[in-house]
């Protein structure tokens, strides 16, 4: 059991080591990384099943009793995120087989994505706030290198901004946790939650909470801290963009939800109103940015920002249904967003451009790709019966129940604009005829390679449909996860055990 | 002592932000470094300053003396220093490559991917 909880961290790490040992065998690396991600998926699903069956699981590293040692915790929210990470890693590995050129593999692409996954899983599973910082750094270091791998000019320009903003965010997070430690003398998340509830001094936690909010907010790309995202996410190869879009900002959202449900609950009314305002601005600026863009991946990058707004909105409303809606939205968004980036990569392979103006005629030549795009794009916009509809339905219902009418109105309005910019992609790249004077590009993508690239796209599109049709079991799990988050006594109890009541 | 350190930390943060707002890409790296050092000192100060009381267990005792310096902030800072060392090394290489590829060290001219 103990091994099961830490294996989502161990498996990518082992895979990375094996890959480093086989550094020269470029073609073998693809398959080993794929096998590693399959094993990860199996293990993380079994972790999720165990967590559903037997509640919150935890393990003390090195048998140092909590709160002195480092705790690894798997509650439902963590387990769901770990399963989603494994799923993303599987699809990205399949997609990378074709998308990543041998030069990038030569410079260690596959070991790097496995280290990245280790960092992401570690961040989801850790129960120690300083350990969370360390996992952030593991994740960031490999993402920095993935961002610049290939050394193209635009990659360098994007990476300077990406690296700087993320380092500032890490410094703020570190400052916040240093002050928190100075005030209450513990780093274990359950112990922090317990101590802060016992002492309940809002003046102490206010500044720390704000530092955490800004640090995680930069990582999650909320308004007004998102400028690094549209400046950098469209620069690396499509599979790297897809992996980043699916995972990295979501780690920021995860940390926000975790810290603002577990420990920063003293000054709740201020922070919840503040979050709702921020969420509204995040949605609006993101979607307006997307509406003004005509580059495929930049449109998608701005949509990441606007979708983050929905997740923060759920956290701000702070009812069980709203938190469940946020978690459901995270799941839905990881699937569809990654898929849209995958599709943009295939389109680039076929037409040699990301500029919507230069694209066209893909519906006639590649009907399957078009169907998968329609599914993902309409799911993102929130049309029934796809996954996005239920995610938004839960959030908006929660908003109406708690009478936050302005944010509900903004969410619906932003959905409409999302549909507008998704239709823009559909109409420009797929529906209209190929602009005749600009199509001198000859695609080098063979039929076999095209099929390999379309497999992960099809998988994720089917998943979006499956979640939409059979949403109830998943929503039940999300509701359970939300009730665990909103009743932190369970979390505290299961980690600290008989520690002073 | 805390007051002196508080002013020093404030000065380091201010200097770091000022350097980051300059246009030169090298000053950006220096600014990030200063901010990292300020954060380390902040953890050190917030963790509580205790002079000349090492957290050592005397022979024959099972617990350290009642007043002792908390060793944990130092451990945190040590980890943070190691991480920032790695990040700094990466950052310097990145800046060098960016300069080679883009041909300028002026941050105002690195706007190719902004809009």
Q: Determine phi and psi for B103, rounding to 5 degrees.
A: 85, 20
Distance separating alpha carbons of residues A275 and A269, to the nearest angstrom: 10
A501 occurs within a structural domain? no
Alpha helix segments (H runs only) across A126-201: 129-148, 153-184, 189-199
A478 occurs within a structural domain? yes
Q: Give the single-character DSSP code of A356.
A: G
Q: How many CA atoms lie within 13 A of A131 on its CB side?
A: 22
Report the CATH fold assignment for B2-50+68-106.
Helix Hairpins (1.10.287)
Distance separating alpha carbons of residues A423 and A417, to the nearest angstrom: 10
Q: Residues A486, A261: contact at Cβ < 8 Å?
A: yes
Which residues on chain A place their C-beta less than 8 Å from a C-beta of chain B? 130, 133-134, 137, 140-141, 144-145, 148, 151-154, 156-161, 163-164, 167-168, 171, 174-175, 177-179, 181-183, 185, 187, 231-232, 234-235
Q: Residues A49, A80: contact at Cβ < 8 Å?
A: no
pLDDT for position A34: 93
A115 occurs within a structural domain? yes
Distance separating alpha carbons of residues A22 and B7, to the nearest angstrom: 52
Q: What is the DSSP string of B43-105?
A: HHHHT----S----PPTT-SS--SS---SHHHHHHHHHHHHHHHHHHHHHHHHHHHHHHH---
DSSP, collapsed to helix, strand or coil, labels residue B26 as: helix
- What torsion, rounded to 10 degrees, do the Cα atoms A50, A56, A60, A64 define? -150
Cβ contact A144–B94 (<8 Å): yes
Per the listing, tokens 């990145």 go with: B94
Model ipTM value: 0.93
Q: What is the DSSP string of A255-321?
A: HHHHHHHHT--TTHHHHHHHHHHHHHHHHHHHHHHHHH--BHHHHHHHHHHHHHHHHHHHHHH-SHH
- Cα-based distances in Å from A35 to A19, A38, A453, B100: 11, 5, 17, 38
DSSP, collapsed to helix, strand or coil, labels residue B115 as: coil
Longest dimension (CA), chain A: 75
- Cα-based distances in Å from A355 to A348, A393, A428, B76: 9, 33, 10, 47
The pLDDT mean for chain B works out to 88
A500 has a pLDDT exceeding 60 = no
- Span A45-98, pLDDT tens digits: 999 999 998 888 888 888 888 788 889 999 999 999 999 999 999 999 999 988
∠ CA A53-A56-A59 to the nearest 5 degrees?
Answer: 115
Q: Residues A317, A404: contact at Cβ < 8 Å?
A: yes
- Span A197-231, pLDDT tens digits: 887 666 778 888 999 999 999 999 998 888 889 88
Q: What domain range is A485 assigned to?
A: 2-496
Task: Work out how many domains chain A is built from and give that number.
Answer: 1
Q: Give the single-character DSSP code of B41.
A: H
Calculate mean pLDDT across residues B72-80.
Answer: 91
Which tokens go with A462?
């089917």
A130 occurs within a structural domain? yes
- Span B48-63, pLDDT tens digits: 887 777 888 888 888 8
- Span A5-41, pLDDT tens digits: 999 999 999 999 999 999 888 888 889 999 999 999 9
Angle between helices A238-262 and A202-220 (to 10 degrees): 170
Residues of B in contact with A175 (CB under 8 A): 39, 42-43
CA of A231 vs chain B CAs: smallest distance (Å):
5
Nearest to A157 among B43, B72, B113 (CB): B113
Residues of A in contact with B70 (CB under 8 A): 185
Q: How confident is the model at residue B43 (pLDDT cuts 50, 70, 90)?
A: very high
Calculate mean pLDDT across residues A451-464.
Answer: 92
Distance separating alpha carbons of residues A8 and B1, to the nearest angstrom: 45
Q: How confident is the model at residue A501 (pLDDT cuts 50, 70, 90)?
A: very low
Least confident of A29-38, A99-108, A275-284, A321-330: A99-108
Contacts of A254 (CB under 8 A, 6+ apart): A77, A81, A123, A124, A330
pLDDT for position A200: 62
Distance separating alpha carbons of residues B15 and B30, to the nearest angstrom: 9
Find the residue in B nearest to A177 (Cα): B43
A489 occurs within a structural domain? yes
Distance separating alpha carbons of residues A322 and A371, to the nearest angstrom: 31
Inter-chain Cβ pairs, chain A and chain B, closer than 8 A: 99
Q: Determine phi and psi for A390, rounding to 5 degrees.
A: -70, -35
A321 has a pLDDT exceeding 60 = yes
Distance separating alpha carbons of residues A335 and A377, to the nearest angstrom: 11
Cβ contact B20–A151 (<8 Å): no
Helix (H) or strand (E) holding B28: helix B25-46
């Amino acid at each position: 059991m103990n091994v099961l909880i830490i294996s989502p961290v161990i498996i990518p790490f082992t895979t990375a080591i094996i890959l480093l040992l086989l550094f020269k065998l470029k073609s073998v690396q693809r398959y080993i990384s794929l096998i590693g991600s399959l094993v990860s998926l199996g293990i993380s699903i079994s972790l999720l099943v165990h967590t559903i069956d037997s509640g919150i699981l935890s393990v003390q590293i090195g048998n140092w009793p909590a709160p002195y040692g480092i705790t690894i915790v798997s509650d439902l929210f963590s387990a769901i995120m770990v399963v989603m990470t494994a799923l993303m890693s599987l699809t990205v590995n399949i997609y990378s087989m074709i998308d990543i050129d041998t030069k990038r593999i030569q410079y260690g692409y596959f070991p790097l994505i496995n280290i990245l996954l280790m960092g992401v899983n570690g961040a989801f599973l850790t129960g120690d706030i300083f350990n969370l910082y360390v996992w952030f750094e593991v994740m960031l270091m490999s993402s920095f290198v993935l961002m610049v791998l290939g050394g193209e000019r635009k990659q360098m320009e994007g990476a300077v901004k990406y690296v700087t903003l993320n380092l500032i965010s890490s410094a703020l997070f570190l400052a916040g946790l240093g002050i928190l430690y100075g005030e209450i003398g513990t780093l274990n998340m359950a112990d922090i939650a317990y101590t802060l509830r016992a002492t309940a001094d809002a003046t102490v936690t206010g500044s720390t909470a704000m530092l955490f909010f800004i640090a995680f907010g930069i990582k999650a790309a909320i308004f007004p801290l998102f400028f690094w995202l549209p400046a950098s996410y469209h620069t690396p190869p499509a599979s790297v963009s897809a992996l980043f879009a699916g995972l990295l900002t979501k780690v920021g959202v995860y940390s926000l939800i975790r810290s603002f449900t577990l420990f920063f609950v003293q000054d709740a009314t201020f922070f919840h109103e503040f979050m709702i305002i921020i969420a509204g601005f995040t949605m609006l600026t993101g979607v307006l940015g997307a509406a003004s863009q005509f580059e495929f991946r930049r449109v998608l990058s701005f949509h990441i920002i606007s979708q983050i707004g929905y997740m923060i909105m759920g956290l701000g409303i702070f009812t069980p249904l709203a938190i469940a809606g946020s978690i459901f939205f995270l799941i839905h968004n990881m699937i569809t967003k990654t898929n849209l980036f995958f599709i943009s990569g295939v389109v680039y392979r076929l037409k040699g451009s990301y500029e919507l103006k230069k694209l066209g005629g893909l519906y006639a030549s590649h009907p399957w790709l078009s169907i998968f795009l329609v599914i993902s794009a309409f799911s993102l916009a929130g049309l029934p019966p796809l996954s996005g509809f239920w995610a938004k339905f839960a959030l908006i219902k929660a908003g109406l129940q708690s009478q936050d009418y302005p944010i509900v109105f903004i969410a619906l309005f932003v959905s409409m604009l999302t549909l507008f910019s998704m239709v823009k992609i559909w109409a420009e790249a797929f529906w209209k005829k190929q602009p005749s004077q600009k199509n001198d590009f000859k695609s080098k993508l063979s039929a076999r390679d095209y099929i390999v690239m379309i497999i992960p796209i099809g998988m994720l599109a089917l998943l979006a449909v499956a979640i939409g049709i059979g949403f109830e079991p998943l929503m039940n799990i999300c509701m359970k996860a939300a009730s665990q988050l909103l009743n932190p006594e369970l979390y505290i109890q299961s980690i600290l055990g008989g520690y002073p009541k | 002592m805390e007051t002196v350190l508080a002013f020093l930390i404030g000065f380091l943060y201010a200097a770091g932000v000022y350097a980051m707002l300059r246009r030169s890409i090298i000053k950006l790296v220096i600014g990030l470094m200063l901010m990292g050092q300020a954060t380390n000192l902040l953890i050190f100060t917030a963790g509580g300053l205790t002079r000349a009381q090492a957290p050592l267990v005397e022979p024959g005792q099972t617990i350290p003396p009642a007043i002792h310096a908390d060793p944990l902030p130092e451990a945190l800072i040590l980890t943070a220093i190691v991480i920032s060392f790695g990040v700094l090394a990466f950052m310097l290489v990145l800046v060098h490559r960016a300069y080679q590829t883009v041909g300028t060290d002026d941050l105002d001219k690195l706007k190719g991917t902004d809009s």
